[in-house]
């Protein structure tokens, strides 16, 4: 077979390569697809010029044709590296160096000292260096990351190509015979053409296999995410309390979406604002400025308003102070996920990434949105459960514990006090002359006074204190507190009532009287409350707006 026939075959192979490249590269990602198609077009044009070189001047048939050939192989290497590393490889500096070396040598050995053999040595040496670099870079990354090679066949092909072009360079130098034309009968030239046919066919098959392999990896990754999502749904089906749900949500975000920092926002009452209800913050980001937003504000507000998954680069975050602080701590992207239910959007999740989403291949808008819907569903159930629980356990007017729930908590704390020898103090509090308020100003004004009283109790008492509506009075249970500690809290409440004024009472105030009793060994709940009730009666007898302590009798 003569060299012209081999060149014609090479041209046909290049055409087939271009057709299949355009058909299969679309699944390899935008960057890889672009570079892969570019290399196939460059090689097709290069081989067409070489095949018809007798019809072109030297500048086109030698300089341009070989440069396009060199570029075609260069971008094949670039394609494989981009596919393997999932990011743009550094190409411009190397390409400039190769172009300069090529241009100077080929121009010299074409127009000053015409010598085909030297041109073969130069282009073979450049290709050997390029393939050698690709092999070394890929192998180094392979050993460091310990991941399977995506472009396994291409990696080995580059190794063979590097050895071949080193061999061709050495043989050409040793034999050093003048080659006037590629169509001359020359064993090494013929072998080179055969190798090019073999190389391009194997490269095409290798990249095709790499594309299929990558697609399988993505399918398995999506399957893993769906498995995590299924586990999440199975797990959350068992929980109705928000405090149990939030860790499950965190778990699926961490395992399936490589998230290490995220916040869950829910609408506030009135739906004109939303607040952060749960956060996990491995990046230790400052959160003071992003805990509460008005309607439509922040990434969470935008995701809620537009009901879609929104991803932004940290450089485009509108609050520059927050953006600069987050960027300095490694944040690259933010993702807003709406929490959509059948009744509307109830909140959003803001996810923080410190890795490039596209390069790390973790962003999936559709799956994020679906996850948001599932999370919203379980959160809605939990909120409904919480609301029903509150209705069952709290007084409808004040929101304080009702009598039944207070008795339950009283029994619990009394057992703790008996078991651990802890202190326990109660206070029964009554609004002074409250009957006169209802009689003289109406029950509507009386209701306002009671509701305001509940707000005062909630503000002035501690988080560990229990407060309930106890008939016409209020009962405060100070767990793990002796008389002196309980007295401090009750006195703080009494002083707060002195400062309250009510428009419906012509800006007059309503004071309180309180009776307090401390638990002693052997006492029952009824006995303790009875002692506090006696102290309350004494406080009223002595003029009201005061606190009296019970004198505990031995039981």
Catalytically annotated residues: 472
Instruction: Give the SS3 label for residue 413.
Output: helix
Encoding tokens for residue 165?
Answer: 């072009």
Interior CA angle at 552 toward 550 and 554, to 5°?
165
Angle at 354 between CA 77 and CA 363, to 5 degrees: 70
CA dist 420 → 64, 396, 403, 471, 526 (Å): 92, 34, 25, 31, 20
- 482-to-411, 489, 513, 530 alpha-carbon distances in Å: 17, 11, 20, 18
Establish how many alpha carbons lie within 13 A of residue 40's alpha carbon, considering only the half-sphere containing its beta carbon: 25
CA atoms within 13 A on the CB side of 149: 19
Going by the DSSP 8-state scheme, the letter that residue 554 receives in this structure is: P
Residues 6+ apart with CB under 8 A from 18: 37, 40, 41, 43, 44
Q: Look at residues 49, 158, 67 and name the one whose alpha carbon lies nearest to residue 110.
A: 67
Nearest residue to 197 via CA among 3, 1, 13: 13
Give dist(CA 95, CA 31) in Å, integer.
Answer: 17
Please check whether residue 517 is in contact with residue 535, taking contact to mean a CB–CB distance below 8 angstroms: yes
Residue 340's beta-bridge partner residues? Answer: 345
| Tokens 């012509």, located at residue | 506
Helix locations, 318-442, DSSP H:
320-328, 357-360, 365-393, 403-420, 434-441
What sign does the CA torsion over 529, 534, 537, 542 have? negative
Residue 293 bridge partners (DSSP): 274
In sequence order, what are the residues at sequence separation of 6 or more whose Cβ sits closer than 8 angstroms to the Cβ of residue 103? 63, 67
Pairing of strands 547-549, 512-518: parallel
DSSP state of 395: -
- Pick left, alpha or beta for residue 396 (phi over 0 → left; psi -120 to 50 → alpha; otherwise beta): alpha
Question: Per the structure block, which two tokens stand in for 346?
Answer: 């109830």
The strands making up 547-549's β-sheet, listed across from edge to edge, are 466-470, 473-479, 424-431, 512-518, 547-549
Contact between 190 and 168 (Cβ < 8 Å): no
Q: What share of the chain is helix, strand, coil (3-state, %, to 5)?
A: 65, 15, 20
């Amino acid at each position: 077979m003569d060299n012209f026939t081999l060149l014609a075959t090479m041209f046909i192979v290049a055409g087939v390569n271009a057709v299949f490249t355009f058909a299969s590269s679309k699944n390899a990602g935008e960057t890889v697809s672009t570079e892969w198609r570019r290399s196939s077009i460059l090689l097709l044009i290069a081989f067409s010029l070489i095949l018809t070189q007798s019809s072109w001047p030297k500048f086109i048939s030698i300089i341009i044709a070989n440069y396009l050939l060199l570029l075609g192989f260069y971008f094949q290497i670039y394609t494989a590296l981009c596919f393997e590393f999932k990011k743009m490889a550094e190409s411009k500096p190397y390409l400039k160096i190769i172009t300069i070396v090529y241009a100077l040598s080929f121009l010299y050995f074409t127009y000053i000292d015409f010598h085909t053999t030297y041109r073969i040595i130069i282009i073979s040496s450049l290709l050997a260096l390029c393939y050698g670099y690709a092999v070394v870079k890929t192998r180094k990354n392979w050993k460091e990351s310990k991941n399977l090679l995506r472009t396994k066949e291409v990696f080995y092909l580059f190794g063979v190509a590097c050895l071949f072009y080193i061999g061709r360079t050495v043989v050409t130098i040793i034999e050093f015979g003048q080659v006037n034309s590629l169509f001359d009968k020359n064993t090494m030239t013929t072998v080179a053409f055969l190798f090019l046919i073999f190389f391009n066919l194997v490269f095409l098959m290798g990249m095709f296999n790499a594309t299929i392999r990558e697609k399988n990896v993505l399918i398995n990754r999506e399957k893993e995410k769906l498995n995590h999502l299924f586990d999440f749904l199975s797990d959350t089906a068992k929980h109705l309390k928000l405090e149990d749900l939030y860790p499950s949500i965190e778990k699926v975000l961490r395992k399936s979406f490589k998230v290490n920092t995220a916040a869950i926002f829910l609408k506030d009452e009135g739906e004109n604002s939303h607040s952060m209800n749960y956060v996990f913050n491995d990046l230790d980001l400052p959160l003071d400025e992003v805990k509460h937003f008005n309607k439509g504000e922040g990434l969470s507000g935008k995701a809620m308003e537009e009901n879609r998954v929104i991803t932004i680069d940290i450089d485009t975050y509108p609050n520059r102070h927050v953006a600069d602080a987050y960027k300095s701590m490694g944040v690259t992207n933010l993702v807003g996920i709406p929490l959509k239910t059948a009744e509307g959007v109830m909140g959003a999740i803001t996810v923080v990434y410190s890795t490039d989403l596209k390069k790390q291949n973790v962003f999936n808008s559709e799956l994020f949105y679906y996850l948001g819907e599932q999370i919203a569903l379980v959160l809605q159930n939990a909120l409904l459960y919480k609301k029903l629980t509150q209705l069952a356990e709290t007084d409808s007017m004040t929101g304080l514990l009702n009598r039944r729930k207070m008795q339950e908590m009283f029994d619990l704390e009394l057992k703790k006090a008996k078991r651990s020898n802890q202190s326990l103090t109660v206070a029964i509090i009554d609004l002074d002359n409250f009957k006169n308020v209802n009689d003289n100003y109406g029950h509507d004004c009386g209701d306002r006074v009671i509701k305001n009283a509940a707000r005062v109790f909630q503000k002035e008492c501690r988080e560990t204190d229990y407060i309930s509506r106890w008939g016409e009075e209020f009962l405060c249970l100070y767990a793990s507190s002796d008389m002196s500690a309980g007295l401090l809290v009750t006195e703080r409440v009494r002083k707060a009532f002195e400062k309250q004024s009510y428009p419906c009472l012509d800006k007059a105030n309503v004071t309180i009287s309180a009776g307090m009793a401390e638990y002693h060994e052997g006492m029952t709940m009824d006995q303790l409350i009875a002692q506090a009730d006696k102290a309350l009666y004494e406080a009223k007898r002595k003029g009201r707006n005061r606190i009296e302590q019970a004198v505990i009798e031995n039981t």
